[in-house]
Chain A
């Protein structure tokens, strides 16, 4: 069990560019979550899927952020027209029942 795998681990983008973050959940886990981690806000919930269906995207900034889960083995978080305030660590997590397992995250830096 390799755990939740996130790629890339680090990404630097220029202001206004698009960033796509990838997540491979633990095999057999039915729920996939995306969180954003910053020093100021801590761990903020963004969105989650259950059995590939979007369930709750209440934490997603509506205009530039989108998430997809085209199959049970991966999910993507896309940020269009990145801004400096998008700089953060983006964490993906998966679960089967109650316990949620996190990946190590993708550190996004917008310059």
Chain B
């Protein structure tokens, strides 16, 4: 079946240093859209990044990710972590470039802790 794998449950990084959250996937869908969701404490998950184009970098709020279909990956990166980035991050895939189904398959999530 289709699945998303986030290998780290917890990532701890010092403020100002780079951070990378890993995401790989398996899917039988011919066309896919990918998302990173961020969830702050007691808040709803919200979209951070989205992409459906192979090898194209997408950026938002200082974070960036590139969908690589050759390696089935969509890793999230930031060059300089901020204290306010501490949150739970989910990688997810949705069938179809237009994603009309909207059904999302999530990884287990990675908690990012940024320490002073």
Instruction: Determine if chain A interacts with chain B.
Output: yes
Chain A 16-34 residues near chain B, CB threshold 8 A: 31, 33
With A4-B44, A43-B90 as given contacts, are A97 and B98 in contact (CB-CB < 8 Å)? yes
A72 to chain B, nearest CB (A): 16
A41 touches B98 (CB 8 A): no
Which residues in chain A, 63-99, are within 8 Å of chain B measured between CB atoms? 91, 95, 97-99
Interface size on A, residues (CB 8 A): 24
Distance (whole angstroms) from the CB of A46 to the closest CB of chain B: 11
A95:B46 contact, CB within 8 angstroms: no
Are B102 and A95 closer than 8 Å at their CB atoms?
yes
Interface Cβ pair total, 8 Å cutoff: 60
Cβ contact within 8 Å between B45 and A102: yes
B interface, by DSSP: helix, strand, loop or mixed? loop
Binary contact readout B88-104 vs A (1 if CB under 8 angstroms, 0 otherwise): 00101010001111111
B108–A102 contact, CB under 8 A? no
| Contact residue among B44, B90, B104, B109 (Cβ-Cβ distance under 8 Å from A104) | B44
Q: Which residues of B contact A104 (CB under 8 A)?
A: 42-44
Contacts of A105 in B (CB 8 A): 44
A98/B44 in contact, CB under 8 A: no
CB neighbours of B50 from chain A (8 A): 98-99
In the assembly, what is the distance between CA of A98 and CA of B92, in Å?
A: 12
CB-based contact B44/A48 at 8 Å? no
Whether, in the assembled complex, B33 has its beta carbon less than 8 Å from a beta carbon of chain A, the answer is yes
Q: Which of A45, A98, A103 contacts B99 (CB 8 A)?
A: A98
B87 at the interface (CB under 8 A from A): no
B36 within 8 A of A: no
A103, B44: Cβ atoms under 8 Å?
Answer: yes
Cβ contact within 8 Å between B44 and A42 = no
Q: How far is the CB of B39 from chain A (nearest CB, A)?
A: 8
Q: Cβ of A91 and Cβ of B102 under 8 Å apart?
A: no
Which residue from B42, B43, B102, B106 sits with its C-beta under 8 Å from A98? B102
User: When the two chains form their complex, are residues B44 and A102 in contact, meaning their CB atoms are under 8 A apart?
Assistant: yes
A98 and B33 in contact, given A41-B108, A42-B108, A104-B43 (Cβ under 8 angstroms): yes
Interface residues of A (CB under 8 A from B): 3-4, 31, 33, 35, 41-45, 48, 55-56, 91, 95, 97-105
